[in-house]
Amino acid sequence: MRAPEKTFERAKRLRRDLSLPEVLLWECLRGGRLQGLRFRRQHPVGPYVLDFYHAQGKLAVEVDGAHHDLPGQMEYDRRRDQWLGERGIRVMRIAASNVLDDKALEGVLVMIVEAARGK
């Protein structure tokens, strides 16, 4: 689904301003580093920008900080995930704290591979 120009501009801006957990995860995902799987970062889809997107598996990987636990943000995320799901995109949400923890990150990467391959 083609995103509006406004969403493309927001995606460009977000690529320049990645959070530390996003930077760390991107280093693991970029250039097929994760078992040859290809991901895009800050990928625009409709009105939304996905943190990371695996097009072949139609998988969005979202890195969520603590603000995603707030009631208003949780409702927004639910609506967003539903909209993406209606378009065949599965959403995997990962706590930023798990990306920052080396041991937890290993498990996160295994989960991403399994989800991208449809397991």
Write the pLDDT tens digit of every residue in 77-118.
999 999 999 999 999 999 999 999 999 999 999 999 999 998
- Contact (CB, 8 A) for 115 and 39: no
Tens digits of per-residue pLDDT, 12-22?
Answer: 777 788 899 99
Residue count of the chain: 119
Per-residue pLDDT at 77: 93
Name the phi and psi angles at 53, rounded to 5: -135, 130
